[in-house]
Chains A and B, each alone.
Chain A
Amino acid sequence: MPPWPPSAEAAAIPDSAIELPARLDAVGDAGDWMAAWLAPRAAPAETAFAMRLCLEEVLANIAMHGGSGGVSIALAEEPGRFILSISDDGPAFDPVTADLPEGQEIGGNGLLLLRRYCSDLVYRREGERNRLSLGFSVPGGNPAPGR
């Protein structure tokens, strides 16, 4: 139970950025963090689903093919859209231009879902890091832009 009297400081407002290990067992924690960040922003269910799916697919791919360092994840909002930024120190991999593997391979499905479920996808290689920026348009605009 939080201390009495209640204060704004005591409320658990999640940070807009986190660092996680590049492991499959950390993917769930990232999803929980994103859900907590999105909750007060009243994102439509469809947008929240798409964002979680893309986060999951990118992190699962990094966990399987990525480097040994951590993964940095950040969330931001602009009028009418949310932006998810993910960076890691794995080998260069551009999901925007990568060929889709043939058949029902996990990597192929993940890549396909990633491309279909975000509104825009930008990849940059900066030094030794992959930097991915994913935009998600909110139908009708997000309720509280510029928070």
Chain B
Amino acid sequence: MKMDYQDLPDGVTRITLAGDLDARGAGEIDLQFQAIASSRSKVVVDLGQVGFLASIGIRTLIQAAKANAGKGGKLVLQDPSEAVWKVIVTCGADAVLPMAHGQDAALAAIG
């Protein structure tokens, strides 16, 4: 699994994940992902290139979202595939992981 990040204007950080967010993928990025996500307050996670998501990956995302919320910030998932969206909704994790389609909608959801 690959991970890149970019600090955007207005204090928003965009993290792009590519690959499968399964036990292997989550293990590969978890440390760096938490370090970056938890040191920022407004985070957009681009899931457009993530083809698979399991509960271990949801835990990674929720952990970061909680760290952001603790600082008065927010984490928004951008462009999940329908299959990935369905996994998140099935778990009820959409209550803590807001999702948006397109960068403009993601930035609007961050506020």
Interchain CB contact under 8 A, B55 and A31: no
State whether the Cβ of A90 lies closer than 8 Å to any Cβ in chain B: no
Q: Interface on chain A toward B: helix, strand, loop, or mixed SS?
A: helix
Q: Which of A27, A49, A113 contacts B23 (CB 8 A)?
A: A27
Residues on B with C-beta less than 8 A from A116 are: 90
Interchain CB contact under 8 A, A49 and B83: yes
State whether the Cβ of A20 lies closer than 8 Å to any Cβ in chain B: no
Please, how many residues of chain B have a CB less than 8 angstroms from a CB on the other chain? 18
Interchain CB contact under 8 A, A24 and B91: no
Q: Which of A25, A57, A59, A104 contacts B27 (CB 8 A)?
A: A25
> Interface 1/0s, chain B 20-43, versus A by CB < 8 A?
101110010000000000000000
Residues on B with C-beta less than 8 A from A52 are: 22, 52
State whether the Cβ of B62 lies closer than 8 Å to any Cβ in chain A: yes
Instruction: Give the distance in Å from the alpha carbon of A109 to the alpha carbon of B26 in the complex.
Output: 15
Q: Which 10 A-B pairs have the closest CB atoms?
A: A28-B24, A109-B55, A27-B23, A110-B55, A56-B54, A109-B91, A106-B59, A24-B23, A116-B90, A49-B83
Footprint of A on B, CB under 8 Å?
A: 20, 22-24, 27, 52, 54-56, 58-59, 62, 83, 87, 90-91, 93, 96
**Given A28-B24, A52-B22, A104-B96, 6 more pairs with CB closer than 8 A:** A25-B27, A27-B22, A60-B54, A106-B58, A112-B90, A113-B54
